[in-house]
């Protein structure tokens, strides 16, 4: 999946896969907190306005 993101030009660091057992609540919280920080540092995904602006089909 990281590779796929990189082919679309999206920083693979934005994806985290990890295994946490159901009994490891602390570890789960830790991982989420750390990764939230990582994503926050990376900032929002730079997507320029699409060539054809997205339209709701209701608007037609």
CB of residue 57 vs another protein: minimum separation in angstroms?
Answer: 5
Q: Which residues contact 18 (CB under 8 A, 6 or more apart)?
A: 31
Under DSSP, the state recorded for 48 is: P
CB of residue 50 vs another protein: minimum separation in angstroms?
Answer: 4
**Quick one: 7 or 26, whose CB is closer to another protein?**
7
Q: Which helix (H) or strand (E) holds 35?
A: helix 25-42
Binding site for another protein (CB under 8 A): 1, 3-11, 46-48, 50-52, 54-58
CB of residue 24 vs another protein: minimum separation in angstroms?
Answer: 18
């Amino acid at each position: 999946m990281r590779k796929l993101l990189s082919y679309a030009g999206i920083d693979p660091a934005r994806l985290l896969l990890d295994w946490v057992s159901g009994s490891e609540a602390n570890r789960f919280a830790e991982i989420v907190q750390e990764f939230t920080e990582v994503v926050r540092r990376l900032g929002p995904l730079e997507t320029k306005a699409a060539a054809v602006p997205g339209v709701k089909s209701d608007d037609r």
